[in-house]
Amino acid sequence: MNLSEIVGNNIRFHRTKQNISQEQLAEYSNLHPSYIGQLERGKKKPTIDTLYKISLGLKVPLTTILGGIDELDDTNESYPYKCFLLVNEQTAQNQIALYEILRNALSIK
């Protein structure tokens, strides 16, 4: 997974968490809806200005949109990294379900 895909997944996660459509986020961010879709799929590389507009549209800090990129590196073979990659590829609904499964599994002793 590359940097654009990670940022795109973060945007999608926070957009869907708030039940905002791509069209609504585009309106809130003063961007084109198809551009939002391309960003979420990691097909476009946004400028910092664009990311800032999106963070304002989502009402989250810019660091939230960039979350996770500083810990990631393609040579990292740790299990937390592998888990992050697996979960990050899922839909928001599946991410919630996986979180609940993990939380329940860890509470079992």
Question: Residue 81: its pLDDT value, please?
Answer: 66
pTM (two decimals): 0.65
Q: Taking the CB of residue 99, how many other CB atoms lie within 10 A of it?
A: 11
Question: Residue 109: its pLDDT value, please?
Answer: 54
The answer to whether 13 and 92 are in contact (CB under 8 A) is yes
Question: Residue 73: its pLDDT value, please?
Answer: 54
Q: Which domain holds residue 65?
A: 3-107
CB hemisphere CA count around 6 (13 angstroms): 17
Residue 101 sits in a domain whose CATH number is: 1.10.260.40
Our count of domains for the chain comes to 1
Question: Residue 71: its pLDDT value, please?
Answer: 57
As given in the structure block, the two tokens for residue 95 are 């991410």
Torsion of CA 26, 32, 33, 38, to 10 degrees: -110
48 exposure class (CB count in 10 Å sphere: 0-12, 13-18, 19+)? exposed
Each of the 109 residues of the chain gets a pLDDT tens digit; together they read: 678 888 999 999 999 999 999 999 999 999 999 999 999 999 999 999 999 999 999 999 998 898 876 655 555 556 776 777 788 888 889 989 998 998 888 887 5
Cα separation of 29 and 14, whole Å? 14
Question: Residue 90: its pLDDT value, please?
Answer: 86
